[in-house]
Amino acid sequence: MSIFGIRKRLKAALGMGRPPREIVRYRVTYVLPDGTEQVVEAEERYSVLMASQALASPIGTGRRAGGTCPDGGCAECRVQILDATGLSPMTDAERRSLDAAARGEPHEGRVRRPGPPVTPDARLACYAKVVGDGARVRVSELFDYDSIRGDPSGS
């Protein structure tokens, strides 16, 4: 442990450090592919994708084990925002990712077909951050756990 780590612990023990940050949670409503709705309590600044981990099956990303791409450019976690209340505004990087996916530009060296056109209510779940109550998100695809089970014979 560094000197600064020791110093931090000493200050905390003596009550001199910063008080621990209170965890703030906000409600996000997910409209699932079958039409059912599920409300999740998400920590402030969590992405809509991270918050979906509280669902029985999180948002599908098209990637093995439900992971995300390192730069958010795959645009596989596209969702429809029914009510943007409580969500961060769209960033330029998110807009570029949606546009590139719509044009079918390659990502991570992989060719991809042109995707659906960008609409005003389209967002990427990995970019949209929860900043307040009231968001409603329609999810088109949930993660399929059967896709990672592998071969039952173990080969």
Mean pLDDT by 10 residues, the chain (155 residues): 72 75 93 95 94 89 62 86 97 94 89 92 95 96 72 64
| pLDDT score for 62 | 66
Distance (Å) of CA 136 to CA 23, 74, 153:
21, 23, 42
Q: Which of 136, 143, 142 is nearest to 39 (CA)?
A: 136
| Residue 115 within any structural domain of the chain | yes
Beta bridge partners of 123: 79
Q: How many other C-beta atoms can be found within 10 angstroms of the C-beta atom of residue 154?
A: 5
The gap between the terminal CA atoms of the chain, to the nearest Å, is: 44
CATH number at residue 54: 3.10.20.30
Range of the domain at 129: 24-145
Within the chain, how many helices (H) and strands (E) appear? Answer: 3, 5
Please provide the size of the chain in residues. Answer: 155
Q: Is 9 within a domain? A: no
**R_g over Cα of the chain:** 19
Give the predicted TM-score (pTM) of the model.
0.79
Number of folded domains in the chain?
A: 1
2 inside domain: no
Residue 133 counted as domain residue:
yes
